[in-house]
């Protein structure tokens, strides 16, 4: 059952070059009211099912946040239809409606009522809101005395405890300190597990991969790609990398049509395999087994300007189990030859039993994809112990 239905939605804004601000300026300088019409969304259509978590990605200005504001009915489309079934909670402008001279507790009542909660509903969950915000000591102080971090934590705590059917999130998961961010992320996963429909706008693809099972890529006001994060994100990163490279090299007046460019050869992953402890490549490994990943490649060293190698392990249900790259591990310089192999030793393959796959990428430092191999290696992990989860933690029992 679709709880969000978007049909051929279009939205544009007037951008004035030199708009008069006062009545006098508007009367005397009417010729200043020149503007251009900018199309932000151009015929967007999609459905989101109940309980689905969807990420919206795209470069700045492509229309992601405008789309969320349309879904919340902060603004309305020029044409097309949006149908939404259920109560909405939106985390767009945290703290909108907070009054600086009111206490944190008073602002909870005001802000929660904006989300549609009755006073009785607010009173039944105000203790949970205050506890989640970790502001018990300051909750009866005026909000104007709060730091910016305290302010956003309180606002997030209100919005996240509304128990909405649909949650719309716009780039606000970096709230507070590291511990509170982790707490917010866990809360998002908990909300998802309860069947809440979630739509997230984020430039953090790893966040989208961990929360969402679907990504919608918006480019120049249109949906460019709609599918699983594993399918969409590599294409999006390649596009953004190519866009950055073209921005550096092309004249500003020259419009670069990335989709029409013939792909230039830089590097190619020709083969990848995982070698087990017995010295042979296989598709089945024991939990905790020492393995060696071998990546074979061809390259044109004269064209490579900074190289990183990226790895991403996924479980069969598309859960991102582990990801890293050489830049994150502070390996600053990689010298690729015309052909060769890259070796990565994994002391313990500490996944619990299940089916997994490995995606491998050779990229430039600005994330342009020289080559990306999805499902470069597919393998199974087995164990004699019936463990659950993703990773096996090395441990030892002691009983006195």
Res 38 pLDDT > 90: no
> Strand ranges (DSSP E) for 300-338?
308-315, 320-325
Q: Which two tokens stand for residue 340?
A: 């060769």
In this predicted model, what pLDDT tens digit does every residue of 64-79 receive, in sequence order? 989 998 998 888 999 9
Backbone angles phi, psi at 7, to 5 degrees: -125, 110
| Helical residues (DSSP H) of 98-227, grouped into ranges | 104-114, 119-133, 148-160, 178-193, 205-211
Closest CA to 207 of 241, 256, 169, 250: 169
3-state secondary structure of 237: helix
Report which secondary-structure segment, H or E, holds 271.
strand 267-275
Q: Which residue pairs, CB below 8 angstroms and at least 24 apart, start in 129-138?
A: 129/157, 129/158, 129/161, 130/104, 130/105, 130/157, 132/157, 132/160, 132/161, 132/183, 132/187, 133/104, 133/157, 134/180, 135/104, 138/104
Q: Please give the C-alpha separations between residue 161 and each of 152, 156, 178, 392, in angstroms, as whole numbers.
A: 14, 9, 20, 33
Mean pLDDT for all residues in the chain = 85
Rounded Cα gap, residues 70 and 192, in angstroms: 22
What pLDDT is stored for residue 170 in this prediction? 81
% the chain with pLDDT above 90:
44
Q: Which two tokens stand for residue 327?
A: 């830049």
Confidence of residue 320 (pLDDT cuts 50, 70, 90): confident
Q: Which residue has the higher pLDDT, 391 or 261?
A: 391
Res 35 pLDDT > 80: no
Q: How far is CA 49 from the centre of its chain?
A: 19
Beta bridge partners of 287: none
Beta bridge partners of 298: 268, 339
Can you give the length of the chain in residues?
A: 400
Closest CA to 206 of 63, 328, 353, 107: 328
What pLDDT is stored for residue 254 in this prediction? 47
Q: Which two tokens stand for residue 279?
A: 């010295």
Rounded Cα gap, residues 28 and 202, in angstroms: 44
Question: Computed from CA positions of residues 156, 40, 12, 48, in that sequence, does the dihedral angle turn out positive or negative?
Answer: negative
Q: Which residue has the higher pLDDT, 229 or 173?
A: 229
Q: Which residue has the higher pLDDT, 147 or 83?
A: 83
Mean pLDDT computed over 198-204: 87
Radius of gyration of the chain (CA): 25
Rounded Cα gap, residues 273 and 50, in angstroms: 40
What pLDDT is stored for residue 91 in this prediction? 76
Q: Which residue has the higher pLDDT, 111 or 178?
A: 111
Domains of the chain, each with CATH number or no CATH: 47-227 (3.40.50.300), 264-382 (2.70.50.60)
Within 10 angstroms of residue 285's Cβ, the number of other Cβ atoms is 21
| pTM, two decimal places | 0.72
Cβ distance 156 to 175 under 8 Å?
A: yes
Mean pLDDT computed over 96-102: 81
What pLDDT is stored for residue 115 in this prediction? 77
What pLDDT is stored for residue 253 in this prediction? 44
Mean pLDDT computed over 242-271: 65
> Strand ranges (DSSP E) for 1-138?
2-16, 35-49, 53-57, 79-84, 88-91
Within 10 angstroms of residue 265's Cβ, the number of other Cβ atoms is 12
What pLDDT is stored for residue 3 in this prediction? 93
Rounded Cα gap, residues 240 and 60, in angstroms: 11
What pLDDT is stored for residue 33 in this prediction? 65
In this predicted model, what pLDDT tens digit does every residue of 6-27 receive, in sequence order? 999 999 988 776 666 666 666 6
What pLDDT is stored for residue 37 in this prediction? 84
Confidence of residue 256 (pLDDT cuts 50, 70, 90): very low
Res 155 pLDDT > 50: yes
Contacts of 301 (CB under 8 A, 6+ apart): 335, 336, 337, 338
Mean pLDDT computed over 376-382: 95
Q: Please give the C-alpha separations between residue 69 and each of 88, 92, 127, 223, 391, in angstroms, as whole numbers.
A: 12, 8, 30, 17, 39
Mean pLDDT computed over 125-154: 89
Please, how many CA atoms are within 13 Å of residue 204, restricted to the half-sphere of its CB? 12
């Amino acid at each position: 059952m679709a709880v969000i239905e978007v049909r051929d939605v279009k939205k544009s804004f007037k951008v004035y070059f030199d708009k008069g601000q006062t009545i006098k300026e508007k009367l005397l300088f009417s010729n200043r009211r020149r503007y251009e019409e900018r199309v932000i969304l151009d015929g967007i259509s999609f459905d989101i099912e109940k309980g689905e978590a969807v990420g919206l990605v795209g470069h700045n200005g492509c229309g992601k946040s405008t789309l969320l504001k349309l879904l919340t009915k902060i603004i309305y489309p020029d044409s097309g239809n949006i149908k939404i079934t259920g109560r909405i909670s939106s985390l767009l402008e945290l703290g909108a409606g907070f009054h600086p001279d009111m206490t944190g507790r008073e602002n909870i009542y005001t802000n929660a009522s904006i989300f549609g909660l009755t006073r009785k509903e607010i009173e039944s969950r105000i203790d949970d809101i205050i506890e989640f915000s970790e502001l018990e000591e300051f909750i009866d102080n005026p909000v104007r005395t709060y730091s910016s971090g305290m302010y956003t934590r309180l606002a997030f705590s209100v919005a996240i405890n509304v128990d909405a059917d649909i949650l719309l999130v716009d780039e606000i998961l970096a709230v507070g300190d590291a511990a509170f961010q982790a707490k917010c992320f866990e809360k998002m996963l908990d909300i998802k597990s309860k069947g809440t429909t979630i739509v997230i706008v984020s430039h953090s693809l790893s966040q989208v991969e961990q929360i969402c099972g679907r990504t919608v890529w918006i480019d120049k006001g249109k949906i460019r790609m709609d599918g699983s994060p594993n399918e969409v994100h590599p294409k999006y990163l390649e596009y953004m990398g190519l866009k950055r490279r073209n921005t550096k090299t092309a004249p500003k007046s020259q419009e670069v049509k990335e989709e029409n460019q013939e792909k230039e050869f830089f590097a190619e992953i020709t083969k990848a395999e995982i070698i087990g402890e017995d010295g042979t490549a296989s598709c089945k490994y024991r939990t905790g087994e020492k393995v060696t990943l071998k990546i074979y490649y061809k390259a044109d060293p004269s064209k490579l300007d900074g190289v990183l190698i990226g790895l991403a392990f996924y479980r069969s249900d598309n859960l991102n189990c582990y990801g890293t790259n050489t830049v994150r591990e502070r390996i600053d310089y990689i010298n690729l030859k015309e052909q060769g192999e890259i070796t990565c030793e994994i002391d313990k393959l500490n996944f619990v039993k299940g089916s997994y796959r490995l995606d491998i990428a050779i990229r430039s430092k600005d994330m342009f994809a020289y080559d990306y191999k999805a499902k470069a290696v597919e393998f199974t992990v087995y164990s004699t112990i019936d463990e659950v989860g993703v990773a096996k933690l090395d441990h030892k029992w002691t009983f006195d």
